[in-house]
Amino acid sequence: MLTTNPFDDDKLREECGIFGASGVDGAAALVALGLHALQHRGQEAAGITSFDGDHFHTHRAMGLVGETFSQQNEEAIRALPGSVACGHVRYATTGETALRNVQPLFAELSEGGFAIAHNGNISNALRLRQELVRTGSIFQSTSDTETIIHLTARSNYDQLLYKFIDALKRVEGAYSLVCVTREGMIACRDPLGIRPLVLGRRGDAVIVASETVALDVAGAEFIREIEPGELIVVKGTEIESHRPFPPRAPRPCIFEYVYFSRPDSRAVSAGRSVYAVRKAIGAQLAMEAPVEADIVIPVPDSGTPAAIGYAQESGIPFELGIIRSHYMGRTFIQPTDEIRHEGVRLKHNANRDIVAGKRIVLIDDSIVRGTTSHKIVQMMRDAGATEVHMRIASPPTKNPCFYGVDTPEKAKLLAANKSLEQMTDHIKADSLAFISMDGLYKALGEAARGEEPSHCDACFSGEYPTTLTDQRDRETADQLALLEETEAAE
C-alpha cells in the first residue's frame, strides 16, 4: 500500500469519515466544514458531490480537506452548487491510494446519477467483483465500495431505492453510507452497525455524519444515531426511515471509543462522551494494574484521557512528560534511513525536567507493532526516568480488522506473536499491563463482556461478527499454494 507519511507507515490507521447535508442552500460548504471535523478519520484524500436539481457536481482530490476546500480555493466550493451534498475523507482499506479510489464514487445509473460515500470495508468485495467482472461489469476503481454501485445498477428491482437495498443484501462486512441521488439523500448502516453514523438537524436541514463532533462544527444539533440496520431516505428536509434487514443484535466497533473517535464526540452506545469513556477506561486500568510511581504520563494525543483517568483513580500526579509536535509528517521531504530512524523525535519529545529522576507510569491507548512504546520507553530512560511502567488502555491487539481500519497483518502485531513477558522485554519497560476485556466493558458501563458482547471487539478477541469471505478465499489460496510447493519439493 502507498503511504503518504514517511514516519507513520507502521501504525494502526484511521478509517474514513462521511458527512451529508440536505435541505440547505450551499450544502457543499456545510459538508466541507463537517469533513474538516472528521479529518482525523482519514488524511489521504477528500471529496464532495452535490446535486443542484439538474446536475451532479463532484470535486475529489488527494490530501487534506483544508488543502482542497480552503478559503484560498473558494472556487472549489462554488463549483459544487445545490441543496444536497455528501462528502468523504479517506484512509484506504481496499484499493490503492489513488485518485480513482477517492470518494464519493459516482455513476450514471438508469435512474440517473448516484454518488456514494462509504466508511467501512466489504468483506466479500473481491468475490463479488470477480463475479461482476466475469459477467460484464467494467470497474473504474479498485475500491470495495464500487461493488455496491454495480450491484445496484444490475438489480432487477424497478426503483433506485429497492435496487440499492437489493445490492446491500449481497454485501458482507461493515458499511456506513451516505448517497446522493436525483431524489435526495440516502444514509444507512450495516445490520450490525459496525461503523458509526449519527443524525442531526441544522434548523430544518438534515445532516448525517460519522461522529457528533462534525454536527457541532457544522452548527447542527444531535438528534439520534442512525440505528444499526436502518436506512433513511431524505427528501429536502423530510426523513423517512426504513428497516430493510432482519433485526440482529448490534455490534458497533469498540475501538472507536479506545482510539478512533475524537474525544469530544459522543459515544452513543455508552450514552457519554468518548472522553468520559476513555477516562473511565484509565480509571479501570488503575484499579486492575496499580503501580507505585511518582507521575502518570500520557503518550499524546490519544493516550491523554485514559492517563487522566488513571491519575485521578490512583492519586498519582498527572504530568505532560512527553510533548507532541503537531506539525510533522505529511509534507516533510522523504528522509534518509538515518533520519527516519530518528523520526519519532519529530513527533514526540521528552519533557526532561518533568521526567528526570522519576518513577513513571506511561499510558497509551494501544500497542500495535510496538514501535511507539519501544521508542518512548527508551526516550523516558534517556531523559532520566528511574523506572518506566507501561499501561495500555485496551486489551492486546492480536488480530487484524477487516471492517474499515487498516491494521497490519497478524504476523506484525506484537501481541499476536509474543507473551506479556516477551512484550515487556521487547519494549524494555520495567512492567507492562493491558486492561482486561471485562474491564473495557466495565468502563462502558456493563458488568462484563459476556458471551454475546454488545460491541465488535474482534481485534482483541478474534471473534469476527460477520463472515469474512475474501479472507477465507485468501487463506484457501495460500494453503493450496503451500500444498503445491510441498508436492513439488517431494
- Active-site amino acid positions: 16
Q: Which of residues 253-282 bind ligand SF4 (CB under 6 A)?
A: 253-255
**Among 190-198, 209-217, 261-269, 297-305, the segment contacting ligand PRP (CB under 6 A):** 297-305
Q: Which of residues 222-281 bind ligand PRP (CB under 6 A)?
A: 259
Question: Sign of torsion, CA 251 256 261 267?
Answer: positive
Q: Which does 456 bind (CB under 5 to 8 A by kind): ligand GLN, ligand SF4, ligand PRP, none?
A: ligand SF4
Q: How many Cα atoms within 13 Å fall on the side-chain side of residue 421?
A: 0
Q: Which of residues 449-478 bind ligand SF4 (CB under 6 A)?
A: 456-459
Residue 365 CB, shortest distance to Mg ion, in Å, is 6
365 marked as binding residue: yes
Residue 13 CB, shortest distance to ligand SF4, in Å, is 10
| Measured distance CA(268)–CA(342) in Å, rounded | 40
Q: Cβ distance 107 to 149 under 8 Å?
A: yes
String of contacts with ligand SF4 for each residue 149-188, x by CB under 6 A: ----------------------------------------
Quote the cell numbers at residue 200: 442531526
Q: How many Cα atoms within 13 Å fall on the side-chain side of residue 346?
A: 15
Q: Which does 225 bind (CB under 5 to 8 A by kind): ligand GLN, ligand SF4, ligand PRP, none?
A: none
Quote the cell numbers at residue 334: 522523504
String of contacts with ligand GLN for each residue 398-437, x by CB under 6 A: ------x---------------------------------
What's 259's DSSP letter? I
Q: Which of 372, 315, 371, 365 is nearest to 348 (CA)?
A: 372
**Interaction between residue 123 and ligand GLN (CB under 6 A):** no
In a 10 Å sphere around its CB, with 0-12 CB exposed, 13-18 middle and 19+ buried, how is residue 383 labelled? buried
**Interaction between residue 366 and ligand PRP (CB under 6 A):** yes
- The nearer residue to ligand SF4, 314 or 407, going by C-beta atoms, is 407
- The nearer residue to Mg ion, 94 or 302, going by C-beta atoms, is 302
Quote the cell numbers at residue 89: 475523507
302 marked as binding residue: yes
Task: Considering only CA atoms, give the Rg of the chain.
Answer: 23
**Interaction between residue 194 and ligand SF4 (CB under 6 A):** yes
Helix, coil or strand: residue 359: strand
Q: What is the phi-psi region of residue 90: left when phi exceeds 0, alpha when psi lies from -120 to 50, beta otherwise?
A: beta
Residue 397 CB, shortest distance to ligand PRP, in Å, is 8
Strands (E), 63-104: 84-90
Distances (CA, A) of 449 to 284, 374, 397, 453, 456: 14, 30, 16, 5, 11
Those residues whose C-beta lies under 8 Å from the C-beta of residue 365, and which sit 6 or more positions away, are 258, 259, 278, 299, 302, 303, 306, 392, 393, 394
Q: Which of 364, 406, 457, 470 binds ligand PRP (CB under 6 A)?
A: 364
Q: Which of 49, 145, 210, 261 binds ligand GLN (CB under 6 A)?
A: 145
Q: Which of 119, 123, 212, 407 binds ligand GLN (CB under 6 A)?
A: 119
**Interaction between residue 370 and ligand PRP (CB under 6 A):** yes
Task: Point out which residues pair with 176 in neighbouring strands.
Answer: 119, 189
Q: Which does 144 bind (CB under 5 to 8 A by kind): ligand GLN, Mg ion, ligand PRP, none?
A: ligand GLN
**Interaction between residue 369 and ligand PRP (CB under 6 A):** yes
Q: Which of 389, 377, 373 is nearest to 432 (CA)?
A: 389
253 marked as binding residue: yes
**Interaction between residue 198 and ligand PRP (CB under 6 A):** no
456 marked as binding residue: yes
Those residues whose C-beta lies under 8 Å from the C-beta of residue 327, and which sit 6 or more positions away, are none
**Interaction between residue 390 and ligand PRP (CB under 6 A):** no
**Interaction between residue 216 and ligand PRP (CB under 6 A):** no
Quote the cell numbers at residue 352: 526532561
| Measured distance CA(50)–CA(99) in Å, rounded | 18
Residue 166 CB, shortest distance to ligand SF4, in Å, is 25
Q: Cβ distance 338 to 358 under 8 Å?
A: no
Strands (E), 218-350: 221-225, 231-235, 238-242, 266-267, 272-273, 295-298, 322-324, 348-350
Q: Which of 43, 94, 302, 466 binds Mg ion (CB under 5 A)?
A: 302
- Please give the residue ranges that form the binding site for ligand SF4 (CB under 6 A): 194, 253-255, 401, 403, 405, 456-459
- Please give the residue ranges that form the binding site for ligand PRP (CB under 6 A): 10-12, 259, 299, 301-302, 364-373
- Residue set of the binding site for Mg(2+): 302, 364-365
- Please give the residue ranges that form the binding site for Mg ion (CB under 5 A): 302
